[in-house]
Structure 1
């Protein structure tokens, strides 16, 4: 066989020689050892094209065990949330992309499990399947702060523009977690899921209008709304006696500690609106306001306007009363000042000679001689307490620390002003002694001069 013009298909070398070690003549590449031609077998249909040794031993790369376990964990989350197949496929795509990235390739197994949950979360949001980060954190039994950090990192790495989900959008999915249908609880406690969701969404919208939702986590607000919705749909004695903890045990959900505070805040708003209902004659309190929830939600906007108008009228009346009281107090202060001036005028001569008699009470300065009132020294009142509805961070504002002046060591050589000396005088005898001392110092200085 001739080797002129032949090249090795494996390495491209033209260094082809005859191999005489075998009984059949063939051409072999000197550089890589590939068989270039095998004579009659080269054109045989069974033999096919020339394949190098490295290509004949190559196998398909299998995914690692951690990737397989992560995908299995992801499928389990999707089955728990009962999402459709499109969300499952998109979640797997995101997980495969994120897992191969250098940021998540060498991390702990816990972080990889949270990554699977974040892929499900972003897929649900992209395909309009409302779900909260708190639900994913609960299913993963992980810290919501850690889940949020990994979610933000994953979205940035994969360049995903995930929409922001409103709390009212996830109420339907959240309400389905409560097992309070007729199949799970007795008939007097059972409630239709659609009616419960509709009433809870209305309560959440009312909470949003009154600033309760601002800056708050969604899970406690949704739990408080579902609880109040369940009570208000059939406000009988049995339901009204139920506490949040007992309701969560009945509905087979985990109680959220912050939900109790949100219930109290929503009830306060309901009371403010319930007092404006014209046909309600009894006093509306947090204990009986649940019975008025249906009427309040049906006339929510009208009651809000009426409550704000009533609050403004009340503030205006208080302001006018305060102005009248201030005018009366100013007249009293002026009369007291004029009377005190008249009392001090006959003692003017005695004040010029303090050693001749008792000290003038008008010139004596005591510890309470400052005319400034305590109100002028108090800080400004929180404006959130003057309005009917305000954000929680304004109503319960944190007190700022007052910067204290630096304390200096007293050496005894500090200068003392005359006003400060006068503040130490307490009795007429001290006044006379001080005047006599000043007179003696003045005479001694004149003698020396």
Structure 2
């Protein structure tokens, strides 16, 4: 007799009977034919079934080649941005999780490359590190739109809650609320509306971003500097211009930050460089009186930026290269060279400029300045490019450059080991030339050779 309460594990049938097979008693289910022996089910249907390889082995899955390259790219971007080890480890962890997820395992290599930057970006935002999506897109050389789409999908897939990135206008407006500079708190000649200060401060922050002042900087000193300069520029009276940042903070009842003084100096220098391109104020604008021209500079900032860059390039070419007339045959040094009017040689009367806009005056000035000797200037600019390549720090050649490029940190370098010198080594012609000619002679020789080659072709 079969034990009471015993059922078949396959069909749950209670019809189980004893069956003697070759003098060996067994329990068999009459409905499905399964064999029950010693409390364990041994079904003939389960014998000989295939089992997958991953279920029969305990070997962990090894990362593929693309995943290894992606992790190396994550480390490289973290080192370029000089992130700490905590952010780097967090970015690697997110990349491993996202890469092995089914939403990213079968995507294109371009999207996997964008995933690298998204993992770094979300790690920086979780640790309050000031890195923007535009910076990551520039490092990856990828479309920012693609990076934004992958970022949103990754955050949703991994269920990450990054800190919300508010608009700069909202941040400045909230920050301006802390400054007690409205009419109920300060005298009427020192009071300003918070909305007007926010609008002017946002424009100053955008202009500072175009000139690389904001790059790699903390937001609080930038906001304090722009609010202070906006307060002065909205009504540049003698009383306001005499106020220092410390007195302004005492007036507004806020705590001063030391880096804000440096940001004020940098923004004033930038405003001075742009203000010097205003035709009727050429050579008059200084960092001390640039605040009085902020409204006009912000109104025509893009045109002034282009003109300032063009003027700086022309001045750099004239300073680094000798005059092209010294290398032209048949032209004496005493004779004046062909005049090429540049932005620094233009003088516009105030009456003419007031009747037409700045852009119209710039276009008319550019058309009038085209001379037959422009081909000569092109040859000079080519020589200037040769000399610029010899400069060790390219940031000093530019009018606006990132702070880390203009003021690089001094790093220790290991001195190369001295080799045994016997005095019988062979000397090449290039080494002999470097011993004989100075850098100025090399540049002059290269420019003269270039001029001779161009004259032979004609």
Same-fold call, TM cutoff 0.5: no
Give 1 or 2 for the bigger CA radius of gyration. Answer: 1
User: TM-score, normalization: structure 1?
Assistant: 0.43
User: TM-score, normalization: structure 2?
Assistant: 0.42
